[in-house]
Amino acid sequence: MTDIATFGETMLRLSPPRGERLERTRDLDVRVGGAESNVAVAAARLGRETTWLSKLPKSPLGRRVTAALRSHGVRPAVAWDGSESARLGTYYLEHGGDPRGSDVIYDRQGASITTATPPELPVGAIEGADLFYTSGITPALSSTLAETTAELLKAAGGTGSTTAFDLNYRSKLWSPEAAGEAYESLFPYIDVLVAAERDVNTCLDREGDAIEMANGLIHEFDFRTVVLTRGEHGSVAVHDGEVFEQDAYAADTFDPVGSGDAFVGGYLAHRVHGGGVAEALAYGAAAASLTRTVDGDVAVVTADEVESVVDEDGGGLSR
């Protein structure tokens, strides 16, 4: 009954108002976000049945996460952590602009999910999903979680789910070398690899143009599909020996955070629904561009809007 299952950490996101610095703000905007739940939200909003697997503190903050995800139509499958040390990872996002960029301060150490093991997770809820997705953030969070990630990927493949993985390299969590090693240890269990081109350069130490790198990865690691994203330069995919290229859609960016996850969510939602790679890339790109116009990590968009962008009807004032 589940089209797409995802596994990963979802954090509380706290942001000062625009123009205000974290050091001095009196007000924080509160939202929740996490790469894997962002993907789940995008897919759910585009019509897929999605389940998000995770571990959360048994607290108002933990309930906040499930409430937010359920509101978008995602089914949370959660191991509730009632221990004294239970906590929800938090991140502070300070919006910036040249010459200081936006800044993310993580306060996620020791979050409940870092201790998650397969036996305590309600894995039954994701068994038989058409697709299982997680990202490179998850194994970076703790050695326990690295093992759990590997086991879940193996298990998903074993029950017939397609497995998808986004490198999602985070320099504040680990070094490129550590990340690269961890990624490669997971590649045997991954069918669809999504990655930012720069993460392939940085962590997998590859060079060349995106298509060359995608082909190289496929040959070396035997992925079914490799999708490389290139920011404003669009994306490329290689699948079954065929190459696909997709431009990015122009966007008036309000909040860039989460647009990459919206791309993945849009792409996977379309693929799982039986769509072709070319069209799925377009859906992903449209979801990403729309998400840039909206505050917060998640793709508060509709299938109609995504289709409208793909059909090039966006913009203006409709009344």
Task: At 14, give phi and psi (nearest 5°).
Answer: -120, 125
**Footprint of a second copy on residues 260-279 (CB under 8 A)?**
none
Name the minimum Å distance from CB 273 to a second copy: 20
Q: Which stretch binds a second copy (CB under 8 A): 167-175, 184-192, 221-229, 276-284?
A: 167-175
Among 82, 83, 102, 118, binds a second copy (CB under 8 A): 102
- Asked about 209 being catalytic, the answer comes back as no
The answer for residues whose C-beta is within 8 angstroms of residue 183's C-beta and 6 or more apart is 136, 167, 203, 204
72 binds a second copy (CB under 8 A): yes
Q: To 5 degrees, how large is the angle CA 256–CA 258–CA 262?
A: 115
124 binds a second copy (CB under 8 A): no
One-letter identity of residue 86: A
Rounded Cα distance, 213 and 218, in Å:
9
70 binds a second copy (CB under 8 A): yes
**Footprint of a second copy on residues 187-246 (CB under 8 A)?**
none
What value does the CA radius of gyration of the chain take, rounded to a whole number of Å? 18
Question: Which among 249, 245, 257, 263 is positioned nearest to 295, based on CA atoms?
Answer: 257
Among 98, 207, 232, 240, binds a second copy (CB under 8 A): 98
Rounded Cα distance, 260 and 231, in Å:
8
290 binds a second copy (CB under 8 A): yes
Rounded Cα distance, 21 and 40, in Å:
31
Pair of tokens at residue 34: 């996490």
Count the residues in the chain. Answer: 319
Name the minimum Å distance from CB 284 to a second copy: 14
Rounded Cα distance, 233 and 7, in Å:
29
**Footprint of a second copy on residues 36-65 (CB under 8 A)?**
59-61, 63-64
Count of residues engaged in binding a second copy, rule: CB under 8 A: 76
9 binds a second copy (CB under 8 A): no
Rounded Cα distance, 9 and 30, in Å:
17
Task: At 135, give phi and psi (nearest 5°).
Answer: -135, 170
Given the complex with a second copy, which of 109 and 117 has the nearer CB atom? 109
315 binds a second copy (CB under 8 A): yes
| Catalytic-labelled residue, pool 3, 199, 261, 297 | 261
Among 77, 218, 268, 300, binds a second copy (CB under 8 A): 300
Name the minimum Å distance from CB 115 to a second copy: 13
Q: Which stretch binds a second copy (CB under 8 A): 84-92, 112-120, 184-192, 214-222?
A: 84-92
119 binds a second copy (CB under 8 A): no
Among 1, 23, 119, 274, binds a second copy (CB under 8 A): 23
Question: Which among 143, 142, 133, 212 is positioned nearest to 167, based on CA atoms?
Answer: 133
303 binds a second copy (CB under 8 A): no
- Residues belonging to the active site: 261
